[in-house]
């Protein structure tokens, strides 16, 4: 029977555990304020977080509403991306000199979002495998991560397929 332990990323390392524990701390809010201020404005909340699964909530309020009294598509997209991006950031932070970038987004809006929406992405293992492939081969690796948003009645309102690209950063030093 084979081990499920990955070659490069260790989800049981003390640093990963510390990063996961601090996800709802002031550090995340400061990071979001600096880098993704709309996530703060919309009131996106991390409901649960691990290297393998992230759940993000989008409130239904005046900040997230469009003129049609449903959640604005950009707020839904922000939550969909954040549900995969938090895992990707954790894994990249704890594996080395890796860059990450969204290269494509596919979306299906299925139902009008008229209540709090909860996005779940449970494909962290795909991120780990892509990052490890990029490190091992020195080539970029892409992965499509799926995130689904459900309303309070448990109905799917949107599905996102977010393509993330991972590459080892160049370590070429500039001449002095």
Instruction: Work out the average pLDDT over 65-69.
Output: 94
Instruction: Work out the average pLDDT over 113-128.
Output: 96
User: Domain of 140?
Assistant: 14-168
Instruction: Work out the average pLDDT over 77-97.
Output: 92
Backbone dihedral angles phi then psi of residue 124, each to the nearest 5 degrees: -60, -30
d(C-alpha 44, C-alpha 56), whole Å: 7
pLDDT at position 174, please?
43
pLDDT at position 132, please?
92
Instruction: Work out the average pLDDT over 145-157.
Output: 97
For residue 50, the domain's CATH number is 3.10.129.10
* 49 within some domain: yes
Quote the pTM value: 0.86
Partners of residue 34 on adjacent β-strands: none
d(C-alpha 132, C-alpha 166), whole Å: 9
> For the residues of 11-42, what is the DSSP string, one character each?
TTSHHHHHHHHTTTSHHHHHHHHHH-HHHHHH
pLDDT at position 173, please?
45
Backbone dihedral angles phi then psi of residue 89, each to the nearest 5 degrees: -60, -40
The domain total for the chain is 1
């Amino acid at each position: 029977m084979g081990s499920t332990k990955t070659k490069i990323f260790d989800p049981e390392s003390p640093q990963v555990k510390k990063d996961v524990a601090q996800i709802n701390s002031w550090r995340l809010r400061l990071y979001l304020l600096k880098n993704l201020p709309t996530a703060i404005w919309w009131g996106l909340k991390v409901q649960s977080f691990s290297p393998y699964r992230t759940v993000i909530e989008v409130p239904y309020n005046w900040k997230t509403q469009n003129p049609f009294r449903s959640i604005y598509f950009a707020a839904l997209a922000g939550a969909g991306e954040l549900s995969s991006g938090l895992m990707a950031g954790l894994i990249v932070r704890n594996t080395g000199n890796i860059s990450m970038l969204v290269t494509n987004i596919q979306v299906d809006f299925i139902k009008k979002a008229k209540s709090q929406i909860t996005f779940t992405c449970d494909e962290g293992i795909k991120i780990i495998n892509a990052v490890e492939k990029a490190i091992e081969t020195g080539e970029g690796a892409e992965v499509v991560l799926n995130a689904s948003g459900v309303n309070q009645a448990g109905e799917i309102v949107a599905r996102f397929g977010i393509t993330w690209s991972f590459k080892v950063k160049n370590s070429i030093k500039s001449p002095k």
